[in-house]
Structure 1
Amino acid sequence: MSENGPSGVLSKALAVLQAFTVDDTTLGFAELQRRTEFPKGTLHRVLGDLVAAKLLDRVDGRYRLSGLVFELGMRASVERGLLEVATPFMEDLYVRTHELVHLGVREGTEVVYVAKMGGHRQAASPSRLGGRMPLHSTALGKVLLAHAPDDVRDAVLHGPMERRAPRTITNVDVLARQLADVATTGVAFEYEESAVGIVCVASGIFGPADEILGAVSVTGPVHRFQPSRHAAGVRAAAAGISATLGRRAELRRH
């Protein structure tokens, strides 16, 4: 196969991506050429393809790995554990509700959607696989925020809170009360806070040391879905995922 064929293109793209390191997250064209040893024309084409594919970001004439690369890597690691265990519980939630089911994890002050399950009649949620939303604007995010380290909670509560929809909660006192309720009840609710017409209920997934690993939710349109009616089912699914992860961890120790 020629070097311009699929394998040649892929190997060149991989060489460019591997030129970045933990310490060198942003590189200029000259440094990328030095590290890859590609001719200028070849490197220009590969960089253009990677930017177009959203695997690289071009900022002020320099290049850096995009958020998509990180999210794909994170999802790959999540799929080996959390997603594998969560899938049958998510399927059960979907069968019970026939509404949109999500699995999310926290990254900084955002929730990242790592799984999404639903049919043709599902609500038009703004979520997408690998996509992100502010923690304060979704039920998934509120669960993750309620159990996040103190510095993360403080950053959200005392920082600017983006208004994603007219009903997004941006009042510190209101959000703080909701987070306290989440810690007590084990569930969080969203009422048209991430998008108009969308309501949701979520519950947290915990590891063997009671650390929060993620959250699962059911989302539906406001005209037919009543989150409170499904709170027990979502909480039970999250508890089932947590218990299964705990049993797996115990088996690995033995």
Structure 2
Amino acid sequence: MSRTAPPESVDGVAAVDRALAIVDAIAQTTEPISLADLSRVTGFYKSTLLRLIASLERSNLVVRRADGRYALGLYAHQLGRAYEAAYHLTDVLQPILQALVDQGTESASFHAYHDPQSRICLLRIDSLHSTLDRIRAGDLLPLDKGAAGKLLTAYRVLGERADAAGLVATSMGERDPSCAAVASPVFGPGDEIRGVISLSGPKERFTAAAIKKMSQLLQDSAARATRSLGGRWPG
């Protein structure tokens, strides 16, 4: 399939959008990425990439390694630390996710809104079971599929209230035909959704009894996380 390259002009808002697309592409790779691969992933001409990367390097959002490949720079790490400090996400949620797993649930994750098409897994603790679903912190997942996606769409995109959207969502084989999940929202000040706690794993373990048990544990955990983040648990 042929690809139409974006205009060479990178002024104003378009330049910001393209620069963020470059940072996002680099963030999604597990290893430093070459200029050719960045061009393929983003759809930008190499000349456009080099011009924008020069600005990103000056701000230390992106660094060029000795081998010519690109990786996130120190400022990206500082932004991540600042985000965590602002919302205390790791300090609050890591023990809560661990407690869920310790109670024999499925793998526990915390998902947040990323963009109109996707959500991002910010935290993940694998369950004690021998078979797991394949999700890792940093993964981008569809916003329109899965239990976590349903709740993020309801609260973050559609702006629904708790009495309409509910406090528990389930999914059976939506994102992955062999996997299932149960999820519950976490709120911050002003009743704004901060993200969703999800318990996910192989679909065959999601019996009616297991879903009922995990749903109650999830709501208790999400309520505790909400209060710790300065929010108000509905009801």
Question: With structure 1 as the length reference, what TM-score do the two structures score?
Answer: 0.58
2-side partners of 1:236 and 1:51: how far apart? 34
Q: Say which of 112, 126, 135 aligns to 1:127.
A: 135
Aligned to 1:137: 145
Report the CA distance between 1:127 and its aligned residue: 2.3
State the secondary structure of the residue aligned to 2:181: strand
Structure 2 segments unaligned to the other structure (5+ residues): 1-11, 20-28, 57-61, 63-70
Report the CA distance between 1:117 and its aligned residue: 0.1
- Farther off after superposition, 89-98 or 116-125: 116-125
Q: Which has the larger radius of gyration?
A: 1
Q: CA 1:52–1:235 in structure 2 vs 1: closer, same or farther (change >3 Å)?
A: closer
1-side partners of 2:214 and 2:30: how far apart? 42
1-side partners of 2:180 and 2:163: how far apart? 16
8 Å CA contact 1:186, 1:235 repeated in 2: yes
1-side partners of 2:90 and 2:127: how far apart? 19
Report the CA distance between 1:138 and its aligned residue: 1.4
Aligned to 1:245: 229
1:112 maps onto 2:93 in alignment = no
Q: CA 1:193–1:51 in structure 2 vs 1: closer, same or farther (change >3 Å)?
A: closer
1-side partners of 2:113 and 2:224: how far apart? 20
Aligned to 1:224: 205
Q: Say which of 84, 88, 95 aligns to 1:79.
A: 84
Report the CA distance between 1:96 and its aligned residue: 1.1
Q: Say which of 193, 218, 228 aligns to 2:174.
A: 193
1:50-69, Cα deviation, whole Å (9 max, x unpaired): 99614972332132579x95
- The one-letter code sitting in structure 2 at the alignment partner of 1:101 is A
Aligned counterparts, 1:8-157, within 5 A: 24-25=15-16, 26=18, 53-54=32-33, 57-58=38-39, 59-61=44-46, 62-63=48-49, 75-80=80-85, 81-109=88-116, 110-119=118-127, 121=129, 123-150=131-158
Q: CA 1:236–1:52 in structure 2 vs 1: closer, same or farther (change >3 Å)?
A: closer
8 Å CA contact 2:155, 2:161 repeated in 1: no
- The one-letter code sitting in structure 1 at the alignment partner of 2:32 is A
What is the percentage of aligned positions where both structures have the same residue? 23
1:213 maps onto 2:210 in alignment = no
Report the CA distance between 1:103 and its aligned residue: 0.5
Q: CA 1:97–1:208 in structure 2 vs 1: closer, same or farther (change >3 Å)?
A: same
8 Å CA contact 2:124, 2:137 repeated in 1: yes
8 Å CA contact 2:181, 2:200 repeated in 1: yes
1:34-76, Cα deviation, whole Å (9 max, x unpaired): xxxxxxxxxxxxxxxx99614972332132579x959967654
- The one-letter code sitting in structure 2 at the alignment partner of 1:103 is F
1:57-115, Cα deviation, whole Å (9 max, x unpaired): 2332132579x959967654443212221111111111112421001100122110011
1:177-221, Cα deviation, whole Å (9 max, x unpaired): xx8998443011110111122111001110121000111011121
Q: CA 1:105–1:223 in structure 2 vs 1: closer, same or farther (change >3 Å)?
A: same
Between the two proteins, the alignment pairs up a number of residues equal to 177
Q: CA 1:218–1:72 in structure 2 vs 1: closer, same or farther (change >3 Å)?
A: farther
RMSD: 3.5
Structure 1 segments unaligned to the other structure (5+ residues): 1-20, 28-49, 154-178, 248-254
Question: With structure 2 as the length reference, what TM-score do the two structures score?
Answer: 0.63
